[in-house]
Structure 1
Amino acid sequence: MTTQASPPSAPTAPPDRIKGGFTKSPWATLVAIAFGVMMVALDGTIVAVANPAIGASLGASLAELQWVTHGYLLGLAVFLITAGKLGDRFGHRNTYLVGVVGFVLSSVAIALSSGVVMLIAFRIVQGVFGALLLPSAMGLMRASFPPSRLGRAFGVFGSLIGAATAGGPILGGVLVSAFGWEAVFYINAPVGALALALGMWLLSANAPTDPGSRMDVPGIVLISITIFALVWALVEAPSIGWGHPITLASLGATLVFGLAFVLWERRPEQPLIPLGLFTNPSVSIGVVLTVLMAVGLMGSLFFITFYLQGVRGMSPAQTGLQLISMTAMMAITSPIAGRILDRVGARPPTTVGLLSASIGMFMLSRLDGETGVPYMSVAFVLLGVGLSLVMTGATAAIIGNAPVRFAGVASAVQQAAMQLGGSLGTAVLGVVMSATIVSTLPSHYGSAGLEEPSSGELAGMQSTVAQGGAVVPEGADATVTAAVTEASNLAFLDGLHLAFIIASALLLLGAILALFMRSGRMTDGPVVHV
């Protein structure tokens, strides 16, 4: 084991000036990256409300709709680490601006897609450009703010991501209702144009933070294959089964190439990811907590929209408005969390946040077909407050404890953990939903006086029921239609209950793990290369 201290921070240079005589400050950087960051975060969840419309318009199955979400996450997750290194090596400003332009162009291509396969392909491309954008944005912020003010900056940053992430269903509902599903992608054109203009105006000149490093090509190949194989397994397993040869091969490739990556990165010569970062317990715990937070957020949003629209019969716009309590809390709580973080460190707000999110998720696991709006709003408030606290605290734990020269890589690790957690959440909770529906739907049919479906019929019905719908026989009268719908909704709720209880338990486990985080202030400490 060798120890290599990061070079001392460069002396503070005189602040740059921008046209019109204003002085560039760290907050100018935050303003410049705000719209780009929100655009990427928005696209992770705005599709949740549009999924039913996309499915109806393009004839997509549940598995294909999951790929609409996971294709985006796949592009993000696979390319994030490489993108973080590119930002450190060639400069975060230029990398960020390229990401913005590519994200807008791919969004327009998605809206113009004529089939679900084409849509998924462009979603993957969109994710790749999002991967360029996000680590660079966080790298710019990490390099602009001193450690003593990073907590407040991360709070505002977390508020932007949280508001955009949770606000996606609201904006998506309005756009889908008024203009159709294509509008949720066209909206990125004006937002991206504003992000590009602000970036070119407010961001300081391009300045690589690790210009002398080389690109670790073998490491890039190994980590890309590892993440691709893992996400592929998580996406495909719910539809083809966890014991299917393709699933097992993907998981096997994840283990083999993941191990090869770790062994390769143990070399001391300019690794893609300095493994010494993870010798800091706060960094390692922060990564795990980010995964758990994403499982709760993405998993709940994916299925709660099917509950609100399918079981409760709400429109996309009504669905978005129902989620506004979570949106508001995520936007309000993150800046407060940042101020608390600067005073007491990451452990207290992160622990409290995980407990709050766990309680909110448990409340959602008690939903039924008649649950009132006040109850759901309280659950969403608890979930929104909790997830924003976790997002701020875990982000600060990972990036704040990494030296500035590795800001891009550290932020990429944080974002990769979030994207993989999102894929894991929808995949695992999707498996729970599907398995529960298959096991309970026949009994609900029997209780309703209907003929129980055969195993072959169940396989064909499962996808529709998991989306909050029902397979009504052609020509059925009103009585039969009502009975089939009621039985299908009950089976859906059975799956929802179990899935959300599991998510609640995972968040509670995270609260216990958060107690072992360091609560000290963030500093630019040494990096230990293993």
Structure 2
Amino acid sequence: MVKPVTAEPDAGAADGTARAPSARQALAALSLSMLLPSLGISVANVGLPTLAQAFEAGFQGVQWVVIGYLLAVTTSIVGAGRLGDIVGRRRLLLAGIAVFTVASALCGAAPTLGLLIAARVAQGLGAAVMMALSMALVGEAVPKERTGSAMGLLGTMSAVGTALGPSLGGLLIAAAGWPAIFLAGVPLGVLALLLAHRHLPADRPAPRPARAGFDRLGTLLLALTLAAYALAMTQGRGGFGPANAVLLAAAAVGAGLFVLAERRAAAPLVRLAMLRDPTLAAGLASSALVSTVMMATLVVGPFYLSRTLGLEAAMVGLVVSVGPIVSALTGIPAGRLVDRLGGRRMTVLGLAGIAVGAAAIAILPATLGIPGYAGPIVVMTAGYAMFQAANNTTVMADLPPDRRGLVSGMLNLSRNLGLITGASAMGAVFAAVVGDVAAAGPAAVADGMRITFAVAAALIAVALATVVGSRMRATPAAIPERAP
């Protein structure tokens, strides 16, 4: 169990007296701040058919209930982390929780689809703040020797939200209609707000360089670039046409303009020299690659289970849920191992577990049935939980306070971009092998899955090489920003 730590007086104390925040209660607040954003994605997905019927809209319309939320999170998470470094992480996290909670209530009360989508965008902005700053505040809420356990707990809460969303959403819709899937977040948001206000350590004054200003131009360029990339990866439902090409070109141009703007900015959003830090660069790259691979289990797995193994829809859902459940159960133990054995070593072990699981799926025959698929998935997701806790701990270790929010936002961004890329790229690999997915037979689908996971294993091998190479290049003077 995490030991209480002392900190500055809580800014929220009514009498102005000092109050040492409880590390346990602080972690409860941060855990809820990680649970709610992931729950906000998965609980809405299951409600799309009901929303289409309620608002008499087609799939292209109601899908923006999910896309709008994801775009808001993806485009604003780095800026939210940097803004927290400037104005105070505790203060901004409280504002983000409040925005998420109010937006959840507005989603449930939305009379039209357009207003629902607008409220979901606002909800996504609050979620971006919560995701970026929850991880950044771990360093201030718990002792350093317990950082891995805390990171494992946050990873567990994110996995719980993903796993719980579909079943909870189905129950809420059946019991009280579609508004309930959004209104359920209101009491949880209020609880998170109260816990965070009472138990998170007070913000410390930021160093003078950190207060130099907020890079509005860089933030806008990055947001537009990420929006163009995310839309290029999600539009067309698996196809790639002229619109996708234009969006990718716009993203490339935006990335170039962003680099130019950061080089000229007095107080850049991202100091480009940070990316020369081998630990940070390897952590971001491996996080994106791992998320890309893990998305294959959700994109390709259901086709294999239903077409090749002949499972009914309910059984497919049950087998697919094995991954999030294992991730939820192994997150905290993985974090404790990180504290005992070190983040760098556990990062390599986690990647090795993912690689072994992906390779097993690629070579095991379909005649093994459900165990032949579920067994490797258990290995992959356990390795993923270990990797997440270890990688986040390693990247966030020894960062100066004025960079924790920014780097946390960058880590979350790399994960989100990996998920978005995986949904498109791994699906494209599968479709290239199978051909017409709608008409493909069991053998063709099995071949497509094997090739897809062989590619996945190769990507994890690249991630492993990146991490091992970064350890060889890392030196204490690699980057000034890591110095205390």
Normalised by the shorter chain, which TM-score bucket? Answer: 0.7 to 0.9
Match of 1:130 in 2: 127
Whether 1:103 and 2:100 are equivalent positions in the alignment is yes
Q: CA deviation at 1:106?
A: 2.9
The more displaced of 286-295 and 371-380 is 371-380
Match of 2:3 in 1: none
Match of 1:527 in 2: 481
Q: CA deviation at 1:149?
A: 3.5
Q: CA deviation at 1:115?
A: 7.1
The more displaced of 63-72 and 143-152 is 63-72
Q: CA deviation at 1:21?
A: 10
Given that 2:400 and 2:482 are in contact with CA atoms closer than 8 Å, whether structure 1 keeps it comes out as no
State, as a whole percentage, how many aligned pairs show the same letter.
28
Q: CA deviation at 1:333?
A: 2.5
Q: CA deviation at 1:44?
A: 3.4
Match of 2:312 in 1: 313
Distance in structure 1 (CA, Å) of the matches to 2:58 and 2:304: 18
Match of 1:228 in 2: 227
- CA distance change for structure 1 residues 250 and 170 in 2, over 3 Å: closer, same or farther? same
Q: Which of 464, 468, 478 is 1:515 aligned to?
A: 468
Deviations 1:189-240 (A, max 9, x none): 2221221221222223344545623011121122112111111211225555
Whose radius of gyration is greater, 1 or 2?
Answer: 1
Q: CA deviation at 1:170?
A: 4.6
TM-score (ref. length: structure 2)? 0.82
- CA distance change for structure 1 residues 128 and 145 in 2, over 3 Å: closer, same or farther? same
Q: Which of 254, 261, 268 is 1:257 aligned to?
A: 254
Match of 1:505 in 2: 458
Describe the SS at the equivalent of 2:137.
helix
Describe the SS at the equivalent of 1:421.
helix
Distance in structure 2 (CA, Å) of the matches to 1:13 and 1:172: 39
Q: Which amino acid aligns with 2:465?
A: I
The more displaced of 283-292 and 351-360 is 351-360
Q: Which amino acid aligns with 1:527?
A: E
Distance in structure 2 (CA, Å) of the matches to 1:511 and 1:22: 45
Match of 1:358 in 2: 355
Whether 1:215 and 2:214 are equivalent positions in the alignment is yes
1:20-419 equivalent positions in 2, closer than 5 A: 23-50=20-47, 60-61=58-59, 67-111=64-108, 120-172=117-169, 174-175=171-172, 183-207=180-204, 209=206, 212-236=211-235, 238=237, 241-242=240-241, 244=242, 246-267=243-264, 269-304=266-301, 312-315=311-314, 321-364=318-361, 372-419=369-416
Structure 2: 5+ residue stretches without partners: 1-5
RMSD: 3.9
Q: CA deviation at 1:277?
A: 2.3
Q: CA deviation at 1:131?
A: 1.0
Given that 2:302 and 2:316 are in contact with CA atoms closer than 8 Å, whether structure 1 keeps it comes out as yes
Distance in structure 1 (CA, Å) of the matches to 2:366 and 2:174: 23
Deviations 1:140-186 (A, max 9, x none): 22233454442332222222223333443454455456666654433
How many residues are treated as equivalent by the alignment?
469
Q: Which amino acid aligns with 1:507?
A: I
Distance in structure 1 (CA, Å) of the matches to 2:301 and 2:108: 24
- CA distance change for structure 1 residues 87 and 332 in 2, over 3 Å: closer, same or farther? same
- CA distance change for structure 1 residues 50 and 208 in 2, over 3 Å: closer, same or farther? farther
Distance in structure 2 (CA, Å) of the matches to 1:369 and 1:408: 45
Distance in structure 1 (CA, Å) of the matches to 2:239 and 2:319: 34
Distance in structure 2 (CA, Å) of the matches to 1:263 and 1:407: 24
TM-score (ref. length: structure 1)? 0.76
Q: CA deviation at 1:40?
A: 0.7
Given that 1:32 and 1:195 are in contact with CA atoms closer than 8 Å, whether structure 2 keeps it comes out as yes
Given that 1:295 and 1:424 are in contact with CA atoms closer than 8 Å, whether structure 2 keeps it comes out as yes
Q: Which amino acid aligns with 1:526?
A: P
Describe the SS at the equivalent of 1:266.
helix
Describe the SS at the equivalent of 1:133.
helix
Distance in structure 2 (CA, Å) of the matches to 1:174 and 1:308: 24
Q: Which amino acid aligns with 1:228?
A: A
Distance in structure 2 (CA, Å) of the matches to 1:522 and 1:18: 40
Q: CA deviation at 1:385?
A: 0.5
Deviations 1:240-287 (A, max 9, x none): 525x1x323222222222122223223473211122322221110100
Deviations 1:82-128 (A, max 9, x none): 11122111112221122222223333444556776665554333222
Distance in structure 1 (CA, Å) of the matches to 2:360 and 2:57: 33
Distance in structure 2 (CA, Å) of the matches to 1:38 and 1:18: 26
The more displaced of 52-61 and 187-196 is 52-61
Distance in structure 2 (CA, Å) of the matches to 1:434 and 1:114: 39
Given that 2:322 and 2:374 are in contact with CA atoms closer than 8 Å, whether structure 1 keeps it comes out as yes
Structure 1: 5+ residue stretches without partners: 1-11, 442-464, 466-483
Given that 1:113 and 1:119 are in contact with CA atoms closer than 8 Å, whether structure 2 keeps it comes out as yes
Distance in structure 1 (CA, Å) of the matches to 2:245 and 2:423: 19
- CA distance change for structure 1 residues 429 and 14 in 2, over 3 Å: closer, same or farther? closer
Q: CA deviation at 1:363?
A: 4.8
- CA distance change for structure 1 residues 495 and 107 in 2, over 3 Å: closer, same or farther? farther
